[in-house]
Each structure stands twice: as structure tokens, then as C-alpha cells.
């Protein structure tokens, strides 16, 4: 039996087509979209300006909500981690990161991850499956419910590799970005990749203003391949070429994520090599002190090593920031999210 899709996985024009196929005028799609993303109701029955038979028709074709909230860690107003159950019993995590004026949501795109980065919890149990666009969008709606307001920023930095699930990820971006719905501006949406070049190349062609982050973590192949097996497929030089082409084409600045691991990738030589790599085109670097992950015995760099690494980049004129990774008490910080089974 084919499972009914989530209504939240439809693009606006797909919803219009659905209305049309049911013999209804397309403006009905706008009304439904408004219930879904502006009023954010929790069932078809609450869509009061639709006839009962049409609401029944919608329910025949679509599921309203496919994610179930199993657990919320953390208190309102602070970082909160959501454990969510999918219809097939798989589990994912999403994180709410409130700051002064921002309400950010960190989204998962897959159950598990194929990338198997040594220091990241998300890939430790392997890969289970891709999320659908509906499952990605629903994470944002559950976050909106907890925030009590529409989220302002989205980061695709939860479990999974967004570019290993390119189509559903991009579809979710279009749904979240739609001006008559949640209207989350493309510039407020960040997609992070471990360096999947075909994804970077495709994104360059989308004509979208989204932010792109690339998880680099090492400036040369030997070390990067040890930390990130994805580097064997797409080595540093090729990755840099793809990033240069992306910057050239989109005129948008890429942020390179660099997790600092003691005595591993935090030496002055690494900093200098990184500077050399980044000379070719404008970019930003975001340094992240390693978050503890059980399966990885590396340690966070010392404050002194972090300071030196930072300064080497800064002195070379690179735009560098140090990320204060939120939520490590909840195991909700960078690299600590995982797919779990109950
Ligand atoms: N697969 C994508 C999306 C995940 S983003 C990507 O790799 O970019 C999660 C970010 O946290 C990535 O930059 C990742 O490299 C980083 N990260 C993973 N494990 C970490 C850890 N233990 N400490 C700090 N950052 C980590």
C-alpha cells in the first residue's frame, strides 16, 4: 500500500494543481497555504473556509502531520532539542536556537548519514533513509509551535548531508521561502555540506540567495580524508575549485566551517595552509571548538591553540568568527545530533 504523502511536502504550485485536478479554483490553494503556514492550524478540519467535502478530499489524499514529538529537552527561551518520530518508527532530531532577535531552527535532512565523519555523532549508526520535503518542513512547524512564533532563520545543520538528499532539501527550501507562507527569506536559510561537489554545482544554478556553508575541517587531503571520508571522493583541491566557481557564479560568500580538534587540525601549519587555500576567492571561516562525541576520542583544542589559529587567519585578512556552539549540555550542539532507535 502506498503511504499518503504529507500535505507539507507540496510546493505551492503542486497544491494549485491538486485543487485544479479536484475541479476547484486555484485560489483555494492560497487559502490552504494560509492555514498551513500563516495560521498554522493542526488539522484539515480547522480550515473553516473550505467545505466539509473538500476537507475530506484533502484528508483522503494527504496526511496532515507525519512527525510525532517524543521528547523536548531544554527550557523555552533557551536551546531546545526535539526528538521526533517518523511514521515508520525512525527517529530524528531538530534544535531550536533562540538568540536576541533570531529564532533559528536546525533541521535534519536524513535519518542517519553516509558521510561517517570521524568526529560527528550523526553518522555513527550509518544511514537509514532520506527525509521527504514534508518531513523537513514539519520540523519547522513544530519549532514554530514551541517558539509560539514563526522561526526567522533556518540552518540545514542537523543530522544528514543535505546534498545527498538534494531534491527534497531544495523542495523544502522553496516551501519555507514562499512569501505567502512562512516567508523565511533565502538569506536567512543556510545549507551546510560536507563537500558534496555535485550539490554545490547544482545550487550555483538555482538562482537562490541561500547561504552556503562548507564543512572543511582540514586544509589538506591526508588529514581531511582521515577525518572526513567524503574527501576521498571529492578532495580539497577539487572542492576549492567548486567553491571558487560557486562564488564566481552566485557572487555569494561561502562560510567554511572548521572544527578545532586538539593536536589534529589546530597547528600553526594547518592555519597557514588554510590561509593559502582561501587566497583565491572571498570567503568566511567559522571556527567551532569540538563538541564531545562518545565514539570519537579527539579533544577540543586548548584556548591558546584556538586563539593562535584565529589570529593567524585574522592577520591574513580572512573574515573569521568563533562559533559558540550552543546546547552541548543537551547533546544538541554541532555534531552531537544522531538518529536513534527506541
Ligand atoms: N552534513 C552537513 C550538515 C551537518 S552540519 C555538513 O557536514 O556540513 C553540522 C556541522 O557540525 C558540520 O560543520 C560538522 O562538520 C560539524 N560537526 C560535526 N561533528 C562535530 C563535533 N563533534 N564538534 C563540532 N562540530 C562538529
- How would you classify the pairing of strands 91-98 and 103-106? antiparallel
C-alpha 29 – ligand 1 centre gap (Å): 38
Q: Is the CB of residue 285 below 6 angstroms from any atom belonging to ligand 1?
A: no
Q: Is the CB of residue 120 below 6 angstroms from any atom belonging to ligand 1?
A: yes
Starting at the edge strand found earlier in the chain, the sheet holding 68-73 runs 68-73, 80-85, 91-98, 103-106, 153-156, 189-193, 211-215, 254-260, 283-289, 319-322
Q: What is the pLDDT of residues 249-280, one digit of tens each?
A: 999 999 999 999 999 999 999 999 999 999 99
Cell of 186: 533565502
Radius of gyration in angstroms for the set of CA atoms belonging to the chain, rounded to a whole number? 21
- Whether the pTM exceeds 0.85: the reply is yes
Mean pLDDT per 10-residue segment, the chain (342 residues): 87 97 93 98 96 95 96 94 96 95 97 96 91 98 97 97 98 98 98 98 97 98 98 98 98 98 98 97 96 92 97 97 79 79 52
Give residue 332's pLDDT.
80
Query: Can 334 be counted among the known catalytic residues?
Result: yes
Give the span between the Cα atoms of 196 and 303, in whole angstroms: 31
Give residue 340's pLDDT.
64
Give residue 59's pLDDT.
96
**From 16, 93, 161, 257, the catalytic residue:** 93
Give residue 1's pLDDT.
57
Give the span between the Cα atoms of 294 and 318, in whole angstroms: 33
Give residue 329's pLDDT.
73
Q: What is the pLDDT of residues 117-131, one digit of tens each?
A: 999 999 888 999 999
C-alpha 181 – ligand 1 centre gap (Å): 29
Amino acid at each position: 500500500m502506498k503511504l499518503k504523502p504529507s500535505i507539507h511536502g507540496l510546493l505551492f504550485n503542486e497544491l494549485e494543481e491538486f485543487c485544479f485536478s479536484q475541479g476547484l479554483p486555484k485560489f483555494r490553494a492560497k487559502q490552504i497555504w494560509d492555514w498551513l503556514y500563516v495560521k498554522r492550524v493542526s488539522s484539515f478540519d480547522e480550515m473553516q473556509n473550505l467545505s466539509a467535502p473538500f476537507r475530506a478530499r484533502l484528508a483522503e489524499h494527504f496526511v496532515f502531520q507525519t512527525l510525532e514529538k517524543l521528547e523536548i529537552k531544554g527550557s523555552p527561551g533557551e536551546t531546545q532539542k526535539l526528538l521526533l518520530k517518523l511514521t515508520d518508527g525512525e527517529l530524528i532530531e531538530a534544535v531550536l536556537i533562540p538568540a536576541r532577535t533570531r529564532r533559528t531552527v536546525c533541521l535534519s535532512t536524513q535519518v542517519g548519514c553516509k558521510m561517517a565523519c570521524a568526529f560527528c555523532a550523526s553518522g555513527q549508526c550509518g544511514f537509514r533513509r532520506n527525509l521527504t520535503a514534508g518531513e523537513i518542513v514539519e520540523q519547522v512547524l513544530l519549532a514554530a509551535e514551541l517558539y509560539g512564533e514563526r522561526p526567522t532563520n533556518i540552518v540545514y545543520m542537523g543530522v544528514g548531508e543535505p546534498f545527498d538528499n538534494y531534491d527534497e532539501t531544495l523542495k523544502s527550501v522553496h516551501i519555507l521561502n514562499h512569501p505567502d507562507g512562512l516567508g523565511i527569506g533565502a538569506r536567512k536559510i543556510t545549507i551546510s555540506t560536507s563537500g558534496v561537489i555535485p550539490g554545490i554545482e547544482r545550487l550555483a544554478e538555482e538562482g537562490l540567495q541561500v547561504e552556503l556553508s562548507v564543512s572543511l575541517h582540514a586544509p589538506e587531503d591526508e588529514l581531511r580524508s582521515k577525518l572526513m571520508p567524503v574527501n576521498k571522493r571529492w578532495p580539497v583541491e577539487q572542492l576549492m575549485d567548486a567553491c571558487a566557481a560557486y562564488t564566481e557564479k552566485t557572487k555569494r560568500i561561502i562560510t567554511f566551517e572548521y572544527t578545532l580538534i586538539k593536536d589534529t587540525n589546530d597547528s600553526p601549519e594547518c592555519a597557514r595552509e588554510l590561509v593559502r587555500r582561501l587566497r583565491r576567492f572571498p570567503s568566511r571561516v567559522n571556527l567551532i571548538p569540538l563538541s564531545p562525541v562518545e565514539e570519537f576520542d579527539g579533544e577540543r583544542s586548548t584556548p591558546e591553540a584556538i586563539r593562535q589559529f584565529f589570529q593567524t587567519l585574522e592577520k591574513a585578512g580572512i573574515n573569521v568568527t568563533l562559533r559558540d556552539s550552543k546546547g552541548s549540555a543537551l547533546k544538541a550542539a554541532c555534531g552531537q545530533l544522531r538518529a536513534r532507535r527506541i
